[in-house]
Amino acid sequence: WKTMRLIDSLTHAEMERTDHEEVNFPLLIPEVLLEKENALVARLKRAREEGVDPDELRDEEEEAGFKKEVYWVRHAGENELDVPMFLRPTSETAMYTMFPLWIRSHADLPLKVYQTVNTFRYETKQTRSFIRVREIHFFEAHTAHVDEDDATAQIEQDLDIVDRLMHKLCLPVLKAKRPVWDTFPGAWYTIGIDAIMPNGRTLQVASCHHYRDQWAKAFDITYETKEATQAHVHQTTYGMSERLLGAVVGMHGDDSGLIMPPAIAPIQVVVCPLVRKNATVDTVAVAHDVAERLRDAGFRVKVDDRDLHPGQKYYDWEIKGVPLRLEVGPRDVEQGSVFAARRTGGKSPIPMDELESGVQSTLDDIADELRTRAYAHVDEVVQPLPAWKDGALSAPVEEGRIYELAFNGSDADAERLERATGMGFLGDATEPYADPQPCHATGQPTTRRLLMARSY
């Protein structure tokens, strides 16, 4: 769990860099707020299905949103509550009751807040650690803006934050605008961020939602414009969960165990003194001196001075994924160096007088190697979809693949492709084709690049 906390700290740094303010909202939320969300989401969902403006529809009694997924608290001690409470699935309803108090004029915008909390969803499918859970370690950022364009710019900033975080995690991801049928009903559009697991399945680790002004209308979040008129804000959300840790574990590893990216490794460097009989050098003392120097330089370090055979120690730290092992033997001390063994493979000495810079350089090399391996995996897995000819694919789809295709067809065309492949659409890749390609369904030229995959 230290790794998750380190991921949180990286996320926190990105939020501070982009002028988000940290908040902490209650876990228990009154039922009336869920009803408000339920009515809004049901109306937006119906408007999308009917192809009309949501403002033209009235709220109706229809279950939508998170109503079927929440846990309820109906008693306090032995007393039944007058107003039942639910455990937050996300925090829109709690936060947006406060936004009207915080936002008065255009000078208060953009408003950008975030929190890292536990959320709860009644997951009826089989749970799996870090992939499908009922209690979710959840990061969520919520923003309010003067207009749609400013909110769209926030989505672009969120995707840049994703790129910066994933670079540190050495984790390539796919970013795709979800199809209408897979968009959160309360959003104008959703961009999903998916990691690729070793078996070729995708795992959604984050998402960004553009809400336009629909939530603001439901929660009466307005501001005074420069022209002294009242307008509703436009909103976005950006969320990530502990699935991110599951993706890191799934992507980085080998037959010997985990390989932790240096940026989030709880122990970046383990120092192993090699004790020889009749040696005149106290390698244990030197190992602790080395560790102290590295700690002072900001590295996370542990000395393994257990009375075990060196091979046992090496095996132990390899399976735990520590990226760098420093061996301190009598000969190394005499030569004024330590021996560095990279978890990704390879060994080399580091001079004592270059210890800090040498360790940093080696950790950077390890991170680069992990990125190279991960991107090679993505390049192998993501392939063009076989051509569609005479009502069928020209070649069978392969297990463990993700397919990309040019597509500008109808929903019926999309359903036909899903049936033929046994896969689902992730959506429109945020990076379209540079040049028009013939659509798989219609043959018409398009730059839209869609992704298909089997997902968790």
Tokens 């810079």 sit at which residue?
357
- Is residue 375, in this structure, part of any structural domain at all? no
Q: How far apart are the first and last CA of the chain?
A: 22
Query: How would you class 385 by CB atoms within 10 Å of its CB: exposed for 0-12, middle for 13-18, buried for 19 or more?
Result: buried
Beta bridge partners, 80, equal: 75
- Shared-domain flag, residues 212 and 267: no
Non-local CB neighbours of 242 within 8 Å, separated by 6+ positions: 4, 130, 133, 136, 137, 138
Examine the fold and report which residue of 317, 339, 366 is the final residue of a domain before the chain moves on. Answer: 366
- Shared-domain flag, residues 277 and 357: yes
- Shared-domain flag, residues 80 and 9: yes
- Shared-domain flag, residues 149 and 32: yes
- Shared-domain flag, residues 217 and 79: yes
- Is residue 137, in this structure, part of any structural domain at all? yes
- Shared-domain flag, residues 49 and 170: yes
pLDDT confidence of residue 83: 93
Which whole-number Å values give the CA distances from 381 to 231, 253, 357, 377, 431, in the listed order? 47, 17, 36, 6, 18
Q: Residue 181 has what DSSP assignment? A: G
Examine the fold and report which residue of 333, 366, 399 is the final residue of a domain before the chain moves on. Answer: 366
- Shared-domain flag, residues 345 and 411: no
- Is residue 47, in this structure, part of any structural domain at all? yes
Cα dihedral 346, 351, 352, 357 sign: negative
Which whole-number Å values give the CA distances from 292 to 225, 274, 297, 299, 408, in the listed order? 57, 18, 9, 9, 60
**Residue 54 pLDDT > 70, yes or no?**
no
pLDDT confidence of residue 131: 75
CA distance 300 to 291: 9
Please give the share of the chain, as a percent, with pLDDT higher than 70. 95
- Is residue 160, in this structure, part of any structural domain at all? yes
pLDDT confidence of residue 61: 47
CATH of the domain at 151: 3.30.930.10
**Mean pLDDT value across residues 308-324:** 95
**Residue 53 pLDDT > 60, yes or no?**
no
Domain housing 148: 2-251
- Shared-domain flag, residues 297 and 429: no
Give residue-wise pLDDT tens across range 136-146.
999 999 999 99
- Is residue 289, in this structure, part of any structural domain at all? yes
- Shared-domain flag, residues 358 and 449: no
CATH of the domain at 344: 3.40.50.800
Q: How many domains does the chain have?
A: 3
Nearest to 222 by CA among 104, 108, 113, 96: 104
pLDDT confidence of residue 56: 45
Strands (E), 261-334: 269-273, 301-303, 324-328
* pLDDT band at 279; cut points 50, 70, 90: confident
- Shared-domain flag, residues 431 and 282: no
- Shared-domain flag, residues 244 and 261: no
Examine the fold and report which residue of 230, 251, 272 is the final residue of a domain before the chain moves on. Answer: 251
pLDDT confidence of residue 37: 84
- Is residue 376, in this structure, part of any structural domain at all? no
pLDDT confidence of residue 50: 62
- Is residue 201, in this structure, part of any structural domain at all? yes
- Is residue 54, in this structure, part of any structural domain at all? yes
Model pTM score:
0.90
Most confident of 171-175, 242-246, 384-388, 408-412: 171-175
Please give the share of the chain, as a percent, with pLDDT higher than 90. 76
Nearest to 269 by CA among 342, 372, 198: 342
CATH of the domain at 412: 3.30.110.30
- Shared-domain flag, residues 203 and 323: no
CA distance 241 to 204: 9
Non-local CB neighbours of 258 within 8 Å, separated by 6+ positions: 249, 252, 319, 320, 321
Q: Considering the chain, what is the average pLDDT of its residues?
A: 92
Give residue-wise pLDDT tens across range 159-168.
999 999 999 9
Element at 296 (helix H, strand E):
helix 283-296
